Structure 1
Amino acid sequence: MGQLDGRKVAFIGLGLMGKPMARNLRAAGAEVLVHNRSKAPQEELAAEGFATADSPAEAARWAGAEGTVIGMVTDTPAARRVLVDGETAVLAGIASGALVVDMGTTQVMDTREMAERFAEAGAAFVDAPVSGGQVGAEGGSLTIMAGGTDENFARALPFFEAMGKTITHVGDVGAGQVAKSANQMIVALTLGAVGEAFALARRAGVDPAKVREALQGGFAGSRILELHGQRMIDRSFTPGGRVSVQRKDVVQALALAEEVGITLPGLSRNKDLWDALIEAGHQDLDHSALVKAIDPGW
Structure 2
Amino acid sequence: MSQKIAFIGLGVMGAPMAANLQRAGFDVTGYNRSPGKAAALLKVGGREASSAQEAVQGADFVLTMLPDSPDIETVVLDEGGVLDAMQPGARLIDLSTIAPETARRVFVQGREKEVPVLDAPVSGGEQGAIEATLSIMVGGERSDFEVATSVLGALGKTVTYLGPAGAGQTVKAANQLIVAGTIELVAEALTFLDAHGVQLEDAVQVLQGGLAGSTVLERKGPAMLGRSFEPGFRIDLHHKDLGIYSSAVREAGVASPLGQVISGLMASARAQGLGSLDHSALLLQVEKLSGHAKDQQ
Partner of 1:161: 153
The reply to whether residue 272 of structure 1 matches residue 235 of structure 2 is no
| Secondary structure at 2:273 match in 1 | coil
Amino acid at match of 1:152: D
TM-score (norm 2): 0.93
How far did 1:279 drift? 1.9
- Change beyond 3 A, Cα 1:47–1:86: farther
Shift of 1:49: 4.1
Deviations 1:3-34 (A, max 9, x none): xx510000000011100100010001111111
Q: Which secondary structure does the structure 2 equivalent of 1:218 belong to?
A: coil
- Residue 69 of structure 1 corresponds to 62
Matched, 1:101 2:97: no
Q: Is 1:143 the equivalent of 2:156?
A: no
User: Counterpart of 2:25 in structure 1: which amino acid?
Assistant: G
Tell me the distance in 2 between the aligned counterparts of 1:278 and 1:172: 33
Which residue is 1:209 aligned to? 201
Is it true that 1:15 corresponds to 2:7 in the alignment? Answer: no
Q: Distance in 2 between matches of 1:279 and 1:10?
A: 36
Percentage of matched positions with identical amino acids: 38
The residue identity in structure 2 corresponding to 1:22 is A
The CA deviation at 1:59 is: 2.2
Q: Partners of 1:174 and 1:184 in 2: how far apart?
A: 15
- The code of the aligned residue for 1:121 comes to K
Matches of 2:41 and 2:95 in 1, distance apart?
Answer: 19
Q: Is the 8 A contact 2:19 2:40 kept in 1?
A: no
**2:282 aligned with 1:293, yes or no?**
no
Q: Deviations over 1:47-90 (max 9, x none)?
A: 65432223222322231xxx100001111111221211232x10
1:146 Cα offset (Å)? 0.7
Amino acid across the alignment from 1:8 = K
The alpha-carbon distance between structure 1 residues 151 and 196, as it changes in their structure 2 partners (threshold 3 A), is same
Offset from partner CA, 1:214-239 (integer Å, 9 cap, x none):
21222111111122122111111111
One-letter identity of the residue aligned with 1:72? M
Number of aligned residue pairs: 290
Aligned residue runs from structure 1 range 6-85, under 5 A? 6-42=2-38, 45-46=41-42, 49-63=45-59, 67-85=60-78
**Aligned residue type for 1:76:** S
Instruction: Give the distance between the partners of 1:254 and 1:294, measured in 2 at CA.
Output: 22
TM-score (norm 1): 0.93
Contact 2:180 2:262 in 1 (8 A): yes
Cα distance, 1:46 vs structure 2: 4.3
Deviation at 1:44, TM superposition (A): 6.2
Structure 1 residue 42: deviation in Å? 3.2
SS in 2 for 1:39: coil
CA separation of 1:229 and 1:94: change in aligned 2, threshold 3 A:
same
Matched, 1:199 2:191: yes
Distance (whole Å) between structure 1 residues aligned to residue 43 and residue 193 of structure 2: 49
What is the root-mean-square deviation in Å for CA atoms of aligned residues? 1.5
Segments of structure 2 that go 5 or more residues without pairing to the other structure are none
Code of the residue aligned with 1:82 in structure 2: it is V
Give 5+ residue unaligned stretches, structure 1: none
CA distance in 2, matches of 1:242, 1:221: 23
Q: Residues of 1 paired with 2:279 and 2:110: CA distance?
A: 34
Match for 1:39: what amino acid? P
Match of residue 260 from structure 1: 252
Contact (CA 8 Å) 2:9, 2:65: kept in 1 or not?
A: yes
Other structure's SS at 2:63 match: strand
Shift of 1:142: 0.8
Tell me the SS of whatever aligns to 1:41: coil
User: Which of 93, 105, 114 is 1:113 aligned to?
Assistant: 105
